Structures are given as structure tokens and as C-alpha cells.
Amino acid sequence: MSATSRIDSATPERSAPAGVPQLDVDPFSTEFFEDPHRIHDVLREAGPVVWLEKWSVYGVARHAEVHAVLNDPLTFCSSRGVGLSDFAKEKPWRPQSIILEADPPAHTRTRAVLAQVLSPTAMKQVREHFTALAAAKVDELLVRGSFDAVADLAEAYPLSVFPDAMGLKQEGRENLLPYASLVFNAFGPPNQLRQEAIERSAPHQAYVAAQCQRENLAPGGFGACIHARADAGDITAEEAPLLVRSLLSAGLDTTVNGIGAAMYCLARFPDQLARLRSDPTLARNAFEEAIRFESPVQTFFRTTTREVELAGHRIGEGEKVLMFLGAANRDPRRWENPDRYDVARRTSGHVGFGSGIHMCVGQLLARLEGEVMLAAIARKVASIEISGPVKRRYNNTLRGLESLPITISPA
């Protein structure tokens, strides 16, 4: 059975609303994962709003409409789920997130807590340590010469900094990536990827639930900081573990795929590696541009809370709208030479971290990890060559690689 096959038929087939271009495209299929760019182009050019027949949802793939939907959270809400599943009709597969899957005013309070825990001030405190570990990782990999840039770098580096920064115990950390993969697969439709991820999820869910409890989080870590906000009365003691869960869900696999995207870019575009090497201060922007270029988080849904007009199309209440972040990030209406990876590009305005009130609350942490890793590479590595077959990893929401064998040489 392929990853694309329909497991159930809970969603009745509906025909396209009048005037909205209807497309027979499944953005959660192997075909799409292998080459999203061609189909993104089809989606963008079909119109500002499209109808995806396969899952009976609206889609937006141009930058302007994606940005507009992201920035109207009262009309395009998150509390009915940011995946295909509509929480008004279906029970969520896990207790609903109190930040990602919440609307103002409830969202405002929980968001403020995580924004403070992951603030610029908090990043200053971990920066030195993160920088040292990135340099050590690159030194270690230079000794090896040839390795898998996914397992040995894109996964290994975040795993060496993030769980400690959270304050997690050593035991059980192998559950973190499978749990995150599950969370991001679960935003997708009821296909094989989602179903199998949920079927295998019990041990990962049990691990994460336990790690969210206060007694399992080391003092000084992000987790303990969240619980401390319950003491201050900003959140309740019951809410604190759920906010820790949000960081464990979205704080690791995303940076893994972000750093993986940057490595894949630098391996494919040696002129850009050369430019980065000539000016290592471009490291942070080179990472940001990789987020635009590859969009590790490809899609999120919203649900309409009322009838609304979007780019001249009337959308009824209770409709799911799928936002193609990756397509918006390469929309030629917004970007010059969108298909070019340019480490010096002015990247401000890309939607790889989203936009508006739900924009990635961990974006500063992601940028810090990406920057210090690329800065270490810029200073220490002369060349990166792909030295084996590149394999893609399939996930309903995350775009990244399963394997990227490379050989690097010292500067």
C-alpha cells in the first residue's frame, strides 16, 4: 500500500465551489513529497484560491493569500485544529494544544509564557554553549571526513543541545524524534503515514507525557522555566505540562529539518558555500534562506469561523483552508529568482516560520542553532560533496531528508 492510499472515507466527496479552480492534487502523497515545486507552481498559477478535490479543502499557495490567512486568526482559526481534522467534528488524536490549537484570548496568555521562555534574553544565555558544541561537532566530523549529514549532523547537533536546554533526563530521549514525526504526520489526512504513526505512538506519547511533569525537568531548563510561570500565576499547574509538550513536539524535528535543509543547500550550491566562507557573518542569513528555500514545515490548515471573501472567492463557515508555506516562499510574485538559493538574499517576509500570532515561538532558538552550525562550517570546512544516494523522508507536514551522505574537507 502506498502512502497515498485512502484509509477511510470519513470526508464525503464534495464538488468544487463555483468559480474556484479544482485540482486533482494530493499534497500528502509520495509523488508530491518527491517533487513539490512543480506542483506548487501548478497550485499558484491555478488561482489565488483553489479547491483540492482529494480532501475537499480549499488551498492557498501564493504569498499574498498565505500571508493574509495567517494574519486573520479570528476568521481563519486554529482552535478547530491546524491539520485536516476538524476538532468541531472529530475528537483530536491527543489532548488539544493550548497554544498551537488555540485562538485569542486563550492563546494570548499561553503564547506570552513561551515567548518569554524563548526570548532574545534567554537565547543570550545559551548562545555560548550552543556555539561551542557546534564547533566541536564540526571538528569531530572533519576527522571522519565522510558521514551522513542527516543522522550525524542535522539530527546529532540539535540532539546535543536541545534536550539539555529543556532540562530532560538522559533516559528515553530516543523517543523525541519519533514523537515529533508523529505530531507532524498527524496534521495530515487519514493516510497510511498518519495511521501508522498513530498506531505506533503509545510508547512515545507515554514518554513525552512523563517528561512534561515538573519533577522530571532539571532546574534552569526551558521546561522548568515554564513550570515556574505557573507559580507566578500566569498559567495553571495543569497548563504547564501542556506547554512543555508544545516545545517537545515542535522544538527538535523542525530544527533537524532546518539544519538538514541548509546542509543540502550548501552541498548542492558550492558557489554559495564559497560566499559563506568568504563572509561567515552571513551564516544566520544562509540558514534563514534555507528555511525559505526548502520550507521544512510545508503546510498548515486553518478553519473558517464565518463566511469570508478571500481574493474574490466566497468561502463558507467551517471550511478547512490549507496553506502551502513552501509555495508561498517561492512565489515569483513576491521573490526575485525564487528558485535560487542565495545566502545574501533579504529573506524578511518569508513564511517558513509562519506569520502573525502563531508564528513559530521557537524561531530564535532555531536561528541560533542554524547560525552557530553554519558559522562553524564557514570557518572550518572548505568543501562539501554529496558522496552517496540522497534519500527523502516522507512526512505529511515536514520536508526533509532521510539520508544525505557527504564528504567534507578542512579549510
Partner 1 sequence: MPSITFVHPDGRAQRIDARVGESAMQAATRHDVGGILAECGGNAMCATCHVYVDEGWLARLPAMGDDEDALLDGAAAERRANSRLSCQIKLAADLDGLVLNLPDRQL
Residue 243 phi, psi (nearest 5)? -75, -35
Number of residues that bind partner 1 (CB under 8 A): 25
Q: Element (H or E) spanning 386, and its range?
A: strand 381-386
**Residue whose CB is less far from partner 1, 203 or 349:** 349
Determine, following the binding rule CB under 8 A, whether residue 356 of this chain makes contact with partner 1: yes
Torsion of CA 26, 397, 179, 238, to 10 degrees: -110
Contact predicate 165/118, CB 8 Å = no
Please name every residue paired with 301 in a beta bridge, in sequence order, or none if there are none. Answer: 322
Out of 9, 15, 121, 170, the only residue in the binding site for partner 1 (CB under 8 A) is 121
**Residue whose CB is less far from partner 1, 277 or 345:** 345
Is the four-CA dihedral 117, 99, 62, 25 of positive or negative sign? positive
List the one residue out of 289, 273, 297 whose CA is nearest residue 354: 297
**Residue whose CB is less far from partner 1, 201 or 285:** 285
DSSP line for 197-230: HHHT-HHHHHHHHHHTSGGGS-TTSHHHHHHHHH
Q: How far apart are CA 361 and CA 50, in angstroms?
A: 29
Smallest separation, CB 125 to partner 1 (Å) = 10
Determine, following the binding rule CB under 8 A, whether residue 359 of this chain makes contact with partner 1: yes
Q: How far apart are CA 265 and CA 261, in angstroms?
A: 6
Smallest separation, CB 106 to partner 1 (Å) = 17
**Residue whose CB is less far from partner 1, 155 or 371:** 371
Out of 40, 227, 367, 399, the only residue in the binding site for partner 1 (CB under 8 A) is 367
- Interaction with partner 1 in 60-99: which residues (CB under 8 A)? none
* Reduced DSSP (H G I as helix, E B as strand, rest coil) percent helix, strand, coil of the chain, to 5: 50, 15, 35
- Interaction with partner 1 in 296-355: which residues (CB under 8 A)? 346, 348-351, 353, 355
**Residue whose CB is less far from partner 1, 47 or 370:** 370
- Which listed range, 239-247, 256-264, 363-371, 392-400, lies at the site for partner 1 (CB under 8 A)? 363-371
Determine, following the binding rule CB under 8 A, whether residue 170 of this chain makes contact with partner 1: no
- Interaction with partner 1 in 100-119: which residues (CB under 8 A)? 112, 115-116, 119
Out of 96, 363, 387, 403, the only residue in the binding site for partner 1 (CB under 8 A) is 363
**Residue whose CB is less far from partner 1, 63 or 245:** 63
CA–CA distances in Å: residue 34 to residues 29, 395, 403: 9, 11, 14
Smallest separation, CB 371 to partner 1 (Å) = 8
Determine, following the binding rule CB under 8 A, whether residue 389 of this chain makes contact with partner 1: no
Largest CA distance in the chain: 61
User: Which residues are near partner 1 by CB under 8 A?
Assistant: 112, 115-116, 119-124, 284, 288, 346, 348-351, 353, 355-357, 359, 361, 363-364, 367
